[in-house]
Amino acid sequence: MKELRYAVICVDDDPMILQVLAFQLDKILNNKSILIEFYTNPNDALSDIDILIDEDIDIIFVLVDYQMPEMTGAELIRKIKSKYKDLNCLMLSGQANSTQVSELEKDNLLEKFIEKPWDEEDLRDAIVKLIDTKSIS
Amino acid sequence: MKFTHDILKVSKDLDEIVELISDISMSEKVFLHYFNDNKFSLVSAIGASDDLKTGLSGRLSQVFEEGELASVFNVKGVKYHYFGIPILSNAQKMIGVLSFMGQKKLNLDRKQNKTLKVFLKSILFVFEKEQFFLNKRSCLNQMLELNNGFYFKVDIDSVISDIGPNFKTSLPNIKFGDILTDSIIFEQDFDIKSQFDLEEFKNQIYFFIDKQDKQRYKFSFLIYEGEMIISASPVINTKYTLRNYNLVLNDFSKHDYIAEYMFLQQTSEKSLKEARVISDNLVKRNVELKQAQREIGGLSKFPSENPNPILRFSKELKVVYNNSASLIHFNNDFKIRNKGVFDEVLKRKLLEALKNKSTESIIESRNGRFFSLTIVYVEEMEYVNIYASNITSFILKVNKNEDELIRLRDEMEEQKEFYEFILNNLPADIAVFDTKHNYVFINPKGIRNKKIRNYMIGKNDFDYAKLKNISDVKAIERRKLFNSVLRKKASLTWQDEFIDKKGEREVVQRSIGPLFDEKGKVKYLIGYGVDITKRVQAEEENIRLSLVAKNTNNGVIMLDKNRNIIWANNAILKRSGYKLREVIGKKSDYFTFQNAGSNALEKVSKAMDKMKKVSVELRHVSNKGKEYWVDLNVQPLYEGIDVHSGYMFVEFDITDRKENENTIQDLNVNLERLVQEKTAKNIELSNSLRDQEKMVTIGELAAGVAHDLNTPLGAIKSGVSNVKYTLDSIFKENMRYCSFEEMQFALKYAEKNTFGLYVGGLQFRKESVAFEDFLIKSQSGLKPEEIGDIAMMFVKNRIETDEKEVIDFILKSDNTNHLLKLLFDFQIIYSFVNTIETSGDKASLVVQDLRSFIREKRNTEKGKVNLHDNIKTVLNIFSHNIKNNIELNFDVNQSLIIMGYDVRLFQLWSNLIKNSIECMVEMTGVKKLSVYSVKNTKAKSIIVENNGPIIPSNQIEKIFEKFYTTKAHLSGSGLGLSIVKNVLELHNAKVLVNSNEKRTQFIITFKKEK
């Protein structure tokens, strides 16, 4: 097995979305050294992010849904950003006009906002940019 | 008991009476006892014997206790009957007992009783007389003893019957029975015997001395019952010393010797005074004498040339010699003739001088002339000389001067009084100082306290400060001012302002100025202060008032009593356009009222006549023709309390108000017209509003619905895309390498297993490693470099290590890798096809709900509506919004039925639910939405509750207003809750909003239908 050096995190309370994302990301990333993790519970995601970073694994991005029972995606991003301010965060959501989201954008915490339902192409465009910056082989 | 000889006389009477009583009572034995000092004394008795006497005493006590007594007792075996009668004084006091005793019981008839009563009265009379005498006597004795230990009692023959205790001490040789006059000598021919004969009692003091003349007494006496009682008091002086009397001071009754002492003192003082006067006079006379003698000595050498009268007289008072000077007036004045001296005084003086052989100096005046005479006795010739000197002018001068002085003094006194009166009553405080700044005079206003005022004379301000125990700051100031006035010899005036004891402001104007003497030097300085507080206050008040009057925007006109204008302020002048001089003197009637209606003038005139206040609105025209309106207030003015001094007009400019009033009237007319127009439009509007409401609700729903549809549609979309991709992968890649059998196997497997396709990366890795180990152990026959990937593929396919058959089948294949990949693809396809199916179902559900919501047909009829189902439909529509984020509690009783319009009710619930959802969007933490029912006997209630933010109490009413929204930024129409209100009205239901920080409730209550 190739050594793990990178990871991407997806958080959405709807497993169906996660499944779709998984398939698409697999296609897009197609790289065995990139770990793809899926969480329905944002708190689990947070703790795993800590572990991964501890293990020196470079998290390329975190993709979160907005509407979640435990906390909104905006809150989650804020929490992540407060610890790891350089971590790229993307939001996936059916609600475009939340004040929380606009606040995030104002504070420059959101890398990209992807509206549901999304085209695979939109996702690919958003991600590839980020991967390129990491210059992953 | 002792009886005096007087009483002995009386007791003879008693004996007679008792004898008579014995006779008439025919009682052998009769006793009469006198009761005094708690003792019974036998006064008289008939037929008594000593034996009986003892028995009697018992009876007597009984009578004393019980009164009249009849009893029996035995004496030496003999029975006696006893009868006792108490003798009572007029005061009902027992003073005696009459006792009867016999062997027979006493029996008196009426006559005997009567007679007995008469005798008893006589006895009583005698006893009372005796009492009186006894009392008198004992009093007398007591007085003598107490007041004066010095007394004798003698009879007409001077035989001593009683000696006072002090006399016993002082004159121990005198004894009872001695003849008094043997031992003492009375002065002034006092004779005892003759005093007894005198009828009158002489209230006089006499004296006697003892034989040795060592003691002297003053005394007075009293003749009483044949005795002379001499009450004496010793005379104590240098001759008759205390020691002579063998007594000490305590032996005297106090008042006695005090009086004596006082007497002595007075006498001695008087005599001292007299002696002093005499000696003074003597000294004076001596001086005069010496002086005269000196003068005479100088003059008498040449008597004929002496301008003063010199005369010589023989002892017959014949003129022997007189010089010429005596001829002028002297001889005439003193009536000196050849025959002798006929002036009585002079004559006497001359005779005296002759007789006494002495020299005397006197001053005499005759006929308005004064002479100083020295009368000298010349022994050898038995002559007497007169050396006189006419001192008339001197005397006159002296008198004149004295009169003058007296007059002057009186005048000055008067003046002084006059000035003092003025100074003391001026309203200023005045002080006069000497040049050393000491007070010479202060008037009462300066210092009120008389004592302090008097004290301050001769003192200065520093002393005052010390006296009052205050700081001397003011004293230092005053001193400075004082010195400056003294230096400059000119007065200074300044104002002192301070806060007095009551905390009120006082202003005093002070001056100090010099007073010069005849030489032009400063003799005194006079300072005074006048209280000008009121004046200053009035001035300040005036200044303030005039400032106000001048500058106020309101017009002020002052009128005199005759209603002429005496002053107008700037505001009046500005508005009217006139100058002050044009206005003063004008009659107010003309100036003020010329452009006003006559009503106003009449009203004001009447009020002014009655001295009452009044207000009117007036129209004015300025001298430039500009119209303006004022509110005129008229008021009478008074000086003091009652004195009418004029009137005051105050005008408030009300031009603007007047203009506004007119405008408003116009506007009112227009407004009414407008209102009519608008009302018509409104009716049109409200009709379309209902339709609009409906559209709005749907519009708002659309957003939610769109979202709800988006998700399944998205899933379908991506599912389809994924399937397409995978099919591509199957047909282009993996299927080629697999046999038909293998393909069938793969399909079957995929069909059966529905997997959660993707597992988390870490777990995937763990499982891969585990599977790798498994493969190695199981001797799969795989090449080592392949094992890793193959293991991963197995894990990807979610094939577990215990699925032996499957693993064997796959491992047996020639294209294990491709088979695994194919298997995975088939699984993907099935998975996504499922997703597509599920999503499609979801989408149709959403559309179904929406359709039921907007369906028209069911709108028009009222029908039975099951609240539970009705609400459920709505909840389904919002399911997406609710499901993922909000904890929903739906607990509505399934048997709640009401009559209503189901679609309209959809609107009701959907608005409430949507509002709940939207209010919680920004909320952190758990979001709760509850829709539940409450049923009681009166009504059915549905409660839509959320734990979102509080609706402030002042907004609760507003939220139901049309177009009121807090979600403008979300393009909220503000119609939602107004729709709710309409639906409630339609269904005869009410809404109650309960909102606090923790939760907000909308309680919909349907009244029970009849």
CATH number of the domain that residue B104 is part of = 3.30.450.40
Work out whether strand B94-102 and strand B151-154 pair parallel, antiparallel, or are unpaired.
Answer: unpaired
Question: What is the least distance, in Å, from the CA of B962 to any CA of chain A?
Answer: 25
Residues of A in contact with B718 (CB under 8 A): 20, 24, 117, 120
Give the DSSP letter of residue B949.
P
CA B778/CA B808 separation, integer angstroms: 10
Same domain, B111 and B177: no
CA B988/CA B1006 separation, integer angstroms: 7
CA B702/CA B711 separation, integer angstroms: 14
Q: Could A94 and B885 be called an inter-chain contact, meaning their C-beta atoms sit closer than 8 Å?
A: no
**Residue scoring higher pLDDT (A117 or B529):** B529
Secondary structure string (H, E, C) spanning A18-74: HHHHHHHHHHHHCCCCEEEEEECCHHHHHHHHHHHHHCCCEEEEEEEECCCCCCCHH
Residues of A in contact with B717 (CB under 8 A): 117
Question: What is the least distance, in Å, from the CA of A85 to any CA of chain B?
Answer: 22
Q: Could A19 and B725 be called an inter-chain contact, meaning their C-beta atoms sit closer than 8 Å?
A: no
Q: Could B924 and A19 be called an inter-chain contact, meaning their C-beta atoms sit closer than 8 Å?
A: no
Q: Could A120 and B721 be called an inter-chain contact, meaning their C-beta atoms sit closer than 8 Å?
A: yes
User: Which segments of B63-155 are extended strands (E)?
Assistant: 69-75, 78-88, 94-102, 151-154
The predicted pLDDT at position B290 comes to 67
Task: Give the number of domains in chain B.
Answer: 7
> What's the token pair of residue B1005?
């209550």
The predicted pLDDT at position B693 comes to 61
**CA angle, B358 as apex, B355 and B363 as ends, to 5°?**
110
* A43–B contact, CB cutoff 8 A: no
Question: What is the least distance, in Å, from the CA of B788 to any CA of chain A?
Answer: 6
What Cα–Cα distance (Å) separates residue B947 from each residue in A99, A100, B967, B992? 20, 19, 18, 16
Q: Could A20 and B831 be called an inter-chain contact, meaning their C-beta atoms sit closer than 8 Å?
A: no
Same domain, B889 and B773: no
Q: Among B758, B792, B831, whose Cβ lies nearest the Cβ of A38? A: B758
Q: In what order do the strands lie in the sheet with B939-946?
A: B886-891, B927-935, B939-946, B1000-1007, B989-995
Spatial neighbors of B520 by CB under 8 A, at least 6 apart, are none
In the predicted model, what is the mean pLDDT of chain B?
80
Q: Which of B35, B39, B126, B157 is nearest to B85 (CA)?
A: B35
B703 in a domain, yes or no? yes
Q: Residue ranges per domain, chain A?
A: 6-123
CA B441/CA B432 separation, integer angstroms: 5
Contact B231, B221 (CB under 8 A): yes
Helix, strand and coil percent figures for chain A, each rounded to 5: 45, 20, 35
Same domain, B847 and B699: yes
**Domain A6-123, CATH class in plain words:** alpha beta
Q: B767-785: per-residue pLDDT in tens?
A: 888 998 888 888 777 888 8
Q: Among A15, A67, A75, whose Cβ lies nearest the Cβ of B924? A: A75
Residue with structure tokens 């319009």?
B901
Same domain, B123 and B189: no
* B757–A contact, CB cutoff 8 A: yes
* B972–A contact, CB cutoff 8 A: no
Same domain, B870 and B944: yes
Q: Which residues of chain B have pLDDT under 50?
A: 1-8, 255, 257, 300, 856-858
Distance from the first to the final alpha carbon of chain A: 15
* B768–A contact, CB cutoff 8 A: yes
Q: Could B710 and A116 be called an inter-chain contact, meaning their C-beta atoms sit closer than 8 Å?
A: yes
Q: Is residue B801 left, alpha or beta, with left meaning phi > 0 and alpha meaning psi from -120 to 50?
A: alpha
CA B443/CA B426 separation, integer angstroms: 9
User: Which segments of B140-262 are extended strands (E)?
Assistant: 151-154, 160-163, 184-186, 206-210, 216-224, 227-234
Side-chain half-sphere exposure of B439, counting CA atoms within 13 A: 22
* B725–A contact, CB cutoff 8 A: yes
Q: Could B707 and A27 be called an inter-chain contact, meaning their C-beta atoms sit closer than 8 Å?
A: no
> What's the token pair of residue B441?
């005079």
Q: Among B717, B758, B970, whose Cβ lies nearest the Cβ of A97? A: B970
* B724–A contact, CB cutoff 8 A: no
Q: Could B885 and A67 be called an inter-chain contact, meaning their C-beta atoms sit closer than 8 Å?
A: yes
Q: Could B924 and A20 be called an inter-chain contact, meaning their C-beta atoms sit closer than 8 Å?
A: no
Q: In what order do the strands lie in the sheet with B565-568?
A: B565-568, B555-559, B643-653, B627-639, B614-621
Same domain, B453 and B442: yes
Q: What range does the domain containing B383 cover? A: 277-390
DSSP characters over B518-540: TTS-EEEEEEEEEE-HHHHHHHH
Question: What is the least distance, in Å, from the CA of A99 to any CA of chain B?
Answer: 8
**CA angle, B820 as apex, B814 and B822 as ends, to 5°?**
100
Q: B723-767: per-residue pLDDT in tens?
A: 888 898 888 887 888 888 888 988 888 888 766 666 777 788 888
Pick the last residue of a domain from B608, B638, B653: B653
Residues of A in contact with B757 (CB under 8 A): 19, 22-23
Q: Could A117 and B710 be called an inter-chain contact, meaning their C-beta atoms sit closer than 8 Å?
A: yes
Contact B264, B240 (CB under 8 A): no
Can you name the residues that pair with A37 across neighbouring β-strands?
A9
* A99–B contact, CB cutoff 8 A: yes
Residues of B in contact with A16 (CB under 8 A): 715, 835
Same domain, B916 and B983: yes
SS3 B930: strand
Neighbour count for residue A8 (Cβ, 10 Å): 24
CA B474/CA B454 separation, integer angstroms: 21
Q: Among B714, B757, B924, whose Cβ lies nearest the Cβ of A19? A: B757
- Backbone phi, then psi, for B934, in 5-degree steps? -135, 125
Q: Could A75 and B885 be called an inter-chain contact, meaning their C-beta atoms sit closer than 8 Å?
A: no
B929, with CB counted inside 10 A (0-12, 13-18, 19+), is: buried
* B883–A contact, CB cutoff 8 A: no
* A75–B contact, CB cutoff 8 A: yes
Question: What is the least distance, in Å, from the CA of B756 to any CA of chain A?
Answer: 8
* A33–B contact, CB cutoff 8 A: no
Question: What is the least distance, in Å, from the CA of B661 to any CA of chain A?
Answer: 52
Q: In what order do the strands lie in the sheet with B369-378?
A: B319-322, B310-313, B383-390, B369-378, B360-366
ipTM of the complex: 0.80
* A30–B contact, CB cutoff 8 A: no
CA B731/CA B723 separation, integer angstroms: 12
> What's the token pair of residue B17?
């009476």
Q: Which of B438, B475, B478 is nearest to B458 (CA)?
A: B438
Same domain, B674 and B632: no
Residues of A in contact with B715 (CB under 8 A): 16-17, 20, 117
B27, with CB counted inside 10 A (0-12, 13-18, 19+), is: buried
* A41–B contact, CB cutoff 8 A: no
Q: Among B719, B761, B970, whose Cβ lies nearest the Cβ of A37? A: B761
* A27–B contact, CB cutoff 8 A: yes
Same domain, B842 and B892: no
Pick the last residue of a domain from B796, B826, B854: B854
Q: Locate the chain B residue with the closest alpha carbon to A119.
A: B718
Residues of B in contact with A72 (CB under 8 A): 924
Contact B387, B296 (CB under 8 A): yes
Distance from the first to the final alpha carbon of chain B: 133
* B792–A contact, CB cutoff 8 A: yes
B794 in a domain, yes or no? yes
The predicted pLDDT at position B620 comes to 87
For B903-923, give one letter per residue: b (16+ CB within 10 A) or e. bbbbbbbbbbbbbbbbbbbeb
CATH of the domain at B201: 3.30.450.260
CATH of the domain at B476: 3.30.450.20
Residues of B in contact with A68 (CB under 8 A): 884-885
Contact A85, A107 (CB under 8 A): no
* A115–B contact, CB cutoff 8 A: no
Neighbour count for residue B744 (Cβ, 10 Å): 11
Neighbour count for residue A86 (Cβ, 10 Å): 6
Q: Locate the chain B residue with the closest alpha carbon to A44.
A: B760
Q: How much is the CA Rg of chain B, to the nearest whole Å?
A: 76
Mutant choice from B705, B758, B833, B880 vs A, greatest count of A C-beta within 10 A: B758
Q: B277-305: per-residue pLDDT in tens?
A: 666 666 666 676 666 666 655 554 566 66
The predicted pLDDT at position B4 comes to 39
Same domain, B581 and B643: yes
* B706–A contact, CB cutoff 8 A: no
Work out whether strand B310-313 and strand B227-234 pair parallel, antiparallel, or are unpaired.
Answer: unpaired
Same domain, B804 and B777: yes
Q: Could B756 and A15 be called an inter-chain contact, meaning their C-beta atoms sit closer than 8 Å?
A: yes
Pick the last residue of a domain from B854, B880, B915: B854
Same domain, B791 and B821: yes
Question: What is the least distance, in Å, from the CA of B924 to any CA of chain A?
Answer: 7
